[in-house]
Amino acid sequence: MEKQKYAKICKILLWVLIAISVAVLIWGSLTGFEANDGAATDVLFYWAYAVLAIALIAVICVGLVVRAKTDVKSLASIGIILVGACVLFGVAYLLASGAPAIGYSGAVPPTASELKMTDTILNLAYIVGACAILSIIAAEVVMAIRNKK
């Protein structure tokens, strides 16, 4: 009974998020993303940030609640994962140069902190992408070795 209520609430929230996303997209398309100094683009980015924050909070909180109910000892693994994510972000931040954008022709040049954060996110994407490719290759090699026996 309680699972059905939870599923119904999640479904309603999902439809609300989709409706807001579509409304923001249509509004931006109708007003023009470059009109009004890019206000529609800013709103679209802020909405994307909000949805990402909602997703992260939901995953972390739901994961903590489910693991706390099923196995309290497994909470340590969530802590290890969070520490690993923080370390990964720290490595990407340390590798970020924050060098000025070459060929940028905008009215307002980005600040040094914006450049550093952009480089950090790019480095993080490169690291995660490389790890994904390496894990696919490693999984195929392990499967090939196990199937030879």
pLDDT tens for each residue of 13-41: 889 889 988 988 888 788 776 776 777 77
Alpha-carbon span 53 to 46, nearest angstrom: 10
- Residue 1 — very low, low, confident or very high, per pLDDT cuts 50/70/90? low
pLDDT tens for each residue of 70-89: 877 777 887 888 899 999 99
Question: 99: phi > 0 → left, psi -120 to 50 → alpha, else beta; which?
Answer: beta
Residue 77 DSSP symbol: H
> For the ranges 18-27, 60-69, 117-126, 128-137, which has the lowest average pLDDT?
60-69
Alpha-carbon span 124 to 122, nearest angstrom: 5
| Contact by Cβ (8 Å): 98, 112 | yes
pTM of the full structure: 0.58
